[in-house]
A and B are shown apart, each in its own frame.
Chain A
Amino acid sequence: MASASSKSAFWKGFKDGAPFLLVVGPFGVLFGVVATEAGLNITETMAFSIMVIAGAAQFTAIQLMVDEAPTLIVLATALAVNLRMAMYSAALTPHLGSAPLWQRACIAYFTVDQSYAVSAAQFEKTPDWTLSQKIAYFFGAVTPVCPMWYVVTWIGAYAGTAIPPEFALDFAIPITFLAIIAPLLRTLPHVLACATSVILALSFAWVPYNLGLLIAALGAMMVGAQAELMLSKKVKP
């Protein structure tokens, strides 16, 4: 009985994860193209997508290396983009924290925006699910998304070599990131954090080693958090 319900939880996860193919597909192709444009070969491009498996951080790292930023700055900034993964990890822990260590390691590797988003929503709705059902659901959601990330990166890396500079691919990263940011601007603190990030990044663009971006990111996080705090105090005094 337990295995039957795990099986249906897996397929429920698969069904909930599948629509993300529409986002992950083009995004991964784009990464393959941009990485190839930056001079990476197929092995290097694939290693990026398999080791890091986080699109926004991968784009950030490539862009900073093209800008000739020092290695430590590239790592610090790209990891800052991935700080949200720690939040996902914290959010999944109450549900999946009692799984065996090797399973938790696998879950950690496959914790991406999409698998976190659908799992967190599902586990809220069905708190009475067993641990094995929750794990099955998580891996169900991962199955359509993550292997496809590798495949489309590979396709992009192959296609990238064939695209001439007239196509203005330098602007692929800004457009993709703007498209990711826009839907995130759902609350006033998010808008304020975004504005702070832009203003500080432009004002500190002169700081060497691309440190200006880290300054801007820290400042923007503090503005967002502070604005949230002040707004919540206003609502319930």
Chain B
Amino acid sequence: MIDSTQLWIVILGLGAGSFALRFSFLGIIGKRPLPEWVLRHLRYTAVAVLPGLIAPLVLWPAATGGEPDPARLTAAAVTLLIGITTRNVLAAIFGGAIALYGMMYLLA
């Protein structure tokens, strides 16, 4: 269970921090350009954070007590495959969900 004080600190802190990031250049730095090396690193933030966040959830899901689970592994693979081939986020989500429920039904 999430502690309610922690939750509100995170909501307010993340709200303020996200606004600061969005306002940073537009509001304060103005028209001065960013150094190229900073921009180069910022381009990779999404692919640097999100895969690391979910890798343990895919391999060691809490719902199965941390044991690798064929249904979840298949769903992950299908999602990734559809996402790479179609470049369509929604198609990948639906494909992954169908694979997950299909495998859970077959293995049950």
Contacts and interface: CB of A to CB of B under 8 A. Distances in A.
Interface string A175-217: 1111111111100011001111110111001000000110011
A223 B24 CA distance: 25
B17 interface: yes
B17 A97 contact: no
Contact of A82 (B9, B17, B25): B17
Contacts, number: 282
B83 A90 contact: no
A178 B96 contact: yes
A51 B31 CA distance: 27
B89 to A, nearest CB: 5
B83 to A, nearest CB: 2
Given A23-B90, A168-B100, A57 B14 contact: yes
A179 B83 contact: yes
- Name B's interface SS: helix
B37 to A, nearest CB: 7
Q: Which one of B11, B42, B47, B88 has the highest number of Cβ atoms from chain A below 10 Å of its Cβ?
A: B47
Contacts of B14: 51-52, 57-58, 61, 75, 78-79, 82
Interface residues of A, number: 92
Contacts of B37: 225
18 contacts: A26-B93, A44-B11, A53-B18, A58-B14, A63-B57, A81-B46, A81-B50, A108-B23, A170-B63, A177-B54, A180-B89, A182-B82, A182-B84, A201-B53, A217-B48, A218-B48, A219-B48, A225-B43
Given A83-B45, A181-B51, A183-B87, 17 more contacts: A63-B53, A71-B10, A75-B9, A75-B17, A77-B53, A81-B50, A82-B17, A83-B42, A87-B43, A92-B26, A105-B23, A171-B72, A180-B46, A181-B47, A197-B47, A202-B55, A223-B44
